[in-house]
A and B are shown apart, each in its own frame.
Chain A
């Protein structure tokens, strides 16, 4: 169990295709890097959000969502943000055992194992930081095969298909439930 000088010292891990992957909080000064994946329709395709069109919206997201979030990290390759991920925290005592993982990676970095490594690192870190957390889950739309592969590579278990689970961009979608336990 490593000692961290600051609560949010960067987490470093493996490398992929010649780059070193690390996680650190996303800052307002990262907005231009953020806009690379946030404006990308390939990235937004299976997400609830539409591609961003304005830098001000990017700043608003970082300030309003990323900065105050209980666990929000930039996925960095050689120190530069190329994506992001987050794990929710439930305040209700009966649900605090569970957190939901979301992530996005710039499409130029797909297919190199970066997202899977970032997810592995993040899950390990959040289980260390939150002793009450037993389960990290992810809900992935049935058409999003790439994201399902990321979770399988990151050691998640596919628990089932949830039919007509959620409305995204005006259409009802089937989704897979994946999870990883602190004991897995």
Chain B
């Protein structure tokens, strides 16, 4: 039993008024641990990030439960020869883990983003080999694991093996378990 009404999950653009909610997850080391982001340390940093990164972003959405922002999903499209592919990143506040929120947010993303970014045919996610929770979220949302990229990049000072997952515009999101 997951404990949250997933129909209350929605995606919308970020607002300046999300700053406190944003800080509560982007300021949490447990959430940013597997992300490129440095953990935010103040409301000012949260405001600056929303204003300078989230709002002008090609495709970044606040993940909301009701009207409360509890996470984010970002899509970074490539350009030129790489325009058919886009990288996805996401994070959810710790108190919303294990309730199906991230999976629901990804499903909603996959149903919207290909219409918004028509050049994009492939969405891919790089996930740490030890980040089992995120691997499960991607698999439940219908991503295919393409392979293990050995010693691919550093994350917070540690050289990482990363799994590469993908979802194509022609792939089908599996039916929800609930």
Contact = CB atoms under 8 A, between A and B. Distances in A.
B168 A135 contact: no
A163 B169 CA distance: 11
Interface size class of A (residues with CB under 8 A): 20 to 34
A97 B151 contact: yes
Interface string B142-156: 001111111111110
A166 B84 contact: yes
A93 interface: yes
Interface string B53-85: 000000000000000000000000000011111
Nearest to A94: B154
In the A-B complex, the 3 residue pairs with the smallest Cβ-Cβ separation, listed nearest first, are A160-B147, A160-B146, A159-B147
Given A97-B153, A163-B122, A163-B166, 9 more contacts: A94-B154, A97-B154, A98-B153, A135-B150, A160-B146, A160-B147, A160-B149, A163-B168, A165-B85
A165 B122 contact: yes
Contacts of B108: none
A166 B82 contact: yes
Interface of B: 36, 81-85, 121-122, 124, 144-155, 159, 164, 166, 168
Contacts of B150: 135, 157, 159, 179, 181
Contacts of A172: 84, 121
B166 A162 contact: yes
B146 A164 contact: no
B148 A159 contact: yes
B159 A48 contact: no
A161 interface: yes
Contact of B149 (A95, A167, A177): A177
B83 A167 contact: yes
Interface string A161-184: 111111110001000010101000
6 contacts: A135-B152, A163-B122, A164-B122, A166-B81, A166-B85, A179-B149
A134 B81 contact: no
B168 A160 contact: no
Contacts of A94: 36, 153-155
A2 B10 CA distance: 61
B81 A168 contact: yes
Contact of A93 (B84, B121, B149, B154): B154
Interface string A63-107: 000000000000000000000000000000111011000000000
A168 B80 CA distance: 10
Interface string A6-32: 000000000000000000000000000
B154 A167 contact: no
Interface string A135-154: 10100000000000000000
Contacts of B124: 162
A164 B168 contact: yes
Contacts of B84: 164-167, 172
A160 B84 CA distance: 18
